Structure 1
């Protein structure tokens, strides 16, 4: 062992890392990102769940009950409805997570000690369901039944009814999201190294000599991987239904259309990465740098409603956030894509912007 030669290699590697700005950014950026995300953005105590209220009694007592629930901070009464059916429809479309129903004979029910308040909850997210159950457990202990939990709150009987996943099975919530996670990881990585691989293998010279335009080259790179993405979607969907009995309450066509939107968004993001990276290793580094916040902030692992507002705004920039709303809405709640149009438009806009940036950055030359 020659210490002089060894020290020379160490110095050489340190100088190389200093010149590699992407690696240097990963060395500093990943621990900082994880610390901020887990310490600041990730919060398992849900607050501000979007709620709808149907107060059919409209008495001082019924308004006091609603005010007590709002005072907990768990719900944010964003919608006022006239009937429970309207709340159920909004739950199905994903516009609210919780519905508070107070019947017209609220005072009589309270006097008789019967069920006087009903909490409707989107059970497709088990964390939201747990928060709603805690909401009904204001002062005393809940006495559970099969899928209905009730207890006396003051003098009111409050019941919580969970739709779409009354058994609180984790697989029903996780498997649809896994489609998005797998597509995000693979599609961005595949196209992230696409242009770089052509350059490293010497194929770029051949492409430069052809009359293929920048747009044709970029779109041609995307389309084959789009087919691979549909194969992956089919595989995860089939295994989820077969092994875990995950329901598909909506249209299967809508499931594939939502998957196509995510695939295209991720592929164009990968193309943009490939125009920036100088090597395949750098492309993989940048892909990981994008994938980590996507999976943490999209609502797949941690509840979206528990994040600070500024973090929620940041999460809206990731395609996976919008896809999770689409796929869970279609598969678990039976909603149609046209009812979830804001997230559809968000994915289309993201794809258009990323493709435009990728095409504008790419040059058919080696320097």
Structure 2
């Protein structure tokens, strides 16, 4: 063992790393991003759940209770309802996570103290909402000194089974990881082998080249969706309460969005290793900020705004809405529009960069 030769190899690797700017940026960027996300954006305390109130009592005491619960900051009361049917519609569309129902005999229940005076209906398709609702059910109410003060009604997942919440979001997580990674590595490999240079001499346009490259991966993505649904149904008994066609349409749009992101990554990477690094760099904020693992409502507003840019955020809402709440695409049109806009913008940028790289 020669320390001189060993030192020469170490110096050579350090110089190579210094020239590889992307790898050097990953060495610094990944820990910084994780530190910022976990320290600033990730917050396990749920705050600001979008909620509705159905006050059938309409008394001074009921209004006092509503104000008291609103001041807890757990609920963000956005809707004042007049009919019970409105609760089902708002929950199914994903516009609220909880609904507070104050019955007409509210004052009588307070006096008799033989039944919880309030009812809290929650969206059980999100485990975080379930956990926050259980805590809120024991919140001290004015005029009621014995817990629980609310009857908790869990929609869509009354048994509180974890796989029912996890599997729909896991479809997006798996697709986000595999589609970006497969596409980026495949396109970079074409550059490394010189196949892209051969395609320059053909009349194929950048748009035709890009779309032709990603179409096979779109089929692979749909196969993955099918496998996850079958395994989820057979092993974990995860239902698909909505339209299977709607679920596949939403999945296809998300797959195309992820493929467009993968193409963009391939235009930045010079090697397959760099493509893997960048794919991981795009995957990390999506899984942490999409609401799949950590409560979306607990994030700071800046983190929520950034998360709205990420395609996985919208697909998690789509998958849970269709599979668990039996929502249709018309009711979830805003999430589809956000995914479509991301796909259009990212695909345009990716194609422009493919043209630039070929030139």
> What is the CA–CA distance in structure 2 between the aligned matches of 1:4 and 1:31, rounded to whole Å?
33
> What is the CA–CA distance in structure 2 between the aligned matches of 1:9 and 1:157, rounded to whole Å?
70
1:81-112 CA-partner distances (Å, limit 9, x unpaired):
11222112101111000100112222122222
**SS in structure 2 opposite 1:101?**
strand
Q: Within 5 Å, which residues of 2 pair with 1:1-367?
A: 1-113=1-113, 114-139=115-140, 153=145, 157-363=149-355
Bigger drift between 217-226 and 200-209 goes to 200-209
TM-score normalised by L of structure 1:
0.94
**SS in structure 2 opposite 1:338?**
coil
Deviation (angstroms), 1:319: 0.6
1:53-92 CA-partner distances (Å, limit 9, x unpaired):
1112111110111112112111110111112221121011
**SS in structure 2 opposite 1:181?**
helix
**SS in structure 1 opposite 2:332?**
helix
Unaligned runs of 5+ in 1: 141-151
Deviation (angstroms), 1:156: 8.6
| Paired positions, count | 356
**SS in structure 1 opposite 2:194?**
coil
Which residue pairs with 1:143 in the alignment? none
Q: Tell me if structure 1 keeps the 8 A contact 2:47–2:73.
A: yes
Deviation (angstroms), 1:195: 2.4
In structure 2, relative to structure 1, the CA distance for the partners of 1:283 and 1:334 (3 Å cut) is: same
TM-score normalised by L of structure 2:
0.96
**SS in structure 1 opposite 2:238?**
coil
In structure 2, relative to structure 1, the CA distance for the partners of 1:241 and 1:153 (3 Å cut) is: farther
> What is the CA–CA distance in structure 2 between the aligned matches of 1:263 and 1:206, rounded to whole Å?
28
Deviation (angstroms), 1:275: 1.2
> What is the CA–CA distance in structure 1 between the aligned matches of 2:275 and 2:218, rounded to whole Å?
19
Deviation (angstroms), 1:3: 1.8
> What is the CA–CA distance in structure 2 between the aligned matches of 1:134 and 1:155, rounded to whole Å?
11
Q: Tell me if structure 2 keeps the 8 A contact 1:194–1:271.
A: no
> What is the CA–CA distance in structure 2 between the aligned matches of 1:155 and 1:243, rounded to whole Å?
38
Q: Tell me if structure 1 keeps the 8 A contact 2:315–2:335.
A: yes
**SS in structure 1 opposite 2:158?**
coil
